[in-house]
Amino acid sequence: MRYETVTIKDIAKALGLSTSTVSRALRGGYEISDETKRIVLEYAEKINYRPNPIALSLKERRSYSIGVVVCEIANNFFSQAINGIESIAYNSGYHVIITQSNENHEREVLNVEHLASRSVDGLLISLSSESNDISYLKSLHDKGLPIVFFDRVSEEINTHKVIANNFQGGFEATEYLIKCGHKHIAHFTNAAHLSITRERLEGYKAALQKHSIPFNPDYVKYCNYSGQIQEELDAIVKDLLKLEKRPEAIFIAQDKISTSTLLAFKKLDPEYGSKIAISGFTNSRVADLFCPEITVVRQPAFEMGQLATQLLIQLIESKYPVTEFETKILNTQLMLKQLSTNT
């Protein structure tokens, strides 16, 4: 059975009024008497009339919707960011359409093109680990589609960006391991070209340098699939185990990489894996259950989502072209655990 919506024509027919009169009454037009407005509004409420969003979008050339593209909705960081996005969007009269790339560039492109074809008013995006080429985004941005990046950003498009202080988080997580007595510290991170990878790596290096610990490139391992493919982490851990001097600790840049790393150690060398100290970025409370325990860096995901949405709505609703853009950097928080010290 096909669902039938109530239209202005239905209200007009029931009340014996013209459709233009009903339309103006619903909009609160000054040329319509208060009594007519009262009759129309009361009847509309009685039959639960809601304006047709498609008709409104055609008339106003706006869809009142925002497209969101993230790497993985199940990722705790992104689910919290989406909550922040929705809290601002819905209170501002916008619907949110959420898609995920699953770290796949082709799917990301398809998602963005689909959202654009549905005439979203703007786009919030965190790039996938495969996204080296963002020419498709440049094309849409050049045509006037408002875009705001968050978390994983690109410098190739001049627009607003919202990120965590990844350098600070990387520095503090690494320095804490050092203060626990560890000098041989590995770093497992995302794809090399991502903005978060570069920033967290620089924080890791800065902590080593501050404490006069030589940087060992053999200790840095890039995970091109961000921990989604277990075999990738198995191979990385195998390489680590072959090193003449195995690391005593690891700073891990992402929660799914942490989980896959622990699984790899459990399969390949559980005794060594149970002793290694780990710190890393995660917004998941599951980290509290890990063994060994993980000292975590938490990002203000909810606030990042809120701020990115506020900036996007400002772009959408601006009556004049926006030429000045900001990169907002929100501080991370190191949640301390009692790590084993190197004796």
Which CATH number is 273's domain given?
3.40.50.2300
DSSP 3-state of 70: strand
Residue 130, Cβ density class (10 Å: 0-12 exposed, 13-18 middle, ≥19 buried): buried
Within a domain: residue 56? Answer: no
311 and 198 co-located in one domain: no
182 and 305 co-located in one domain: no
* pTM of the predicted model as reported, rounded to 2 decimal places: 0.81
267 and 118 co-located in one domain: no
44 and 135 co-located in one domain: no
Determine the structural domain holding residue 36 and report its residue range: 8-51
Alpha-carbon gap, residue 114 to 92, rounded angstroms: 23
Within a domain: residue 338? Answer: no
Tens-digit pLDDT profile for residues 305-338 = 999 999 999 999 998 889 999 999 999 999 876 5
Q: Return the DSSP state at 122.
A: E
Within a domain: residue 260? Answer: yes
Within a domain: residue 2? Answer: no
171 and 288 co-located in one domain: yes
Domain count, the chain: 3
- Specify the DSSP element, H or E, that contains 333: strand 333-335
- Look-up of token digits 């409420």: 45
Alpha-carbon gap, residue 13 to 290, rounded angstroms: 65
Within a domain: residue 129? Answer: yes
Tokens of 13: 């027919």
Within a domain: residue 343? Answer: no
Alpha-carbon gap, residue 129 to 224, rounded angstroms: 6
288 and 319 co-located in one domain: no
Tens-digit pLDDT profile for residues 77-132 = 999 999 999 999 999 989 999 999 999 999 999 999 999 988 899 999 999 999 99
135 and 210 co-located in one domain: no
173 and 291 co-located in one domain: yes
Classify the phi-psi angles of 148: left when phi > 0, otherwise alpha if psi is within -120 to 50, otherwise beta: beta
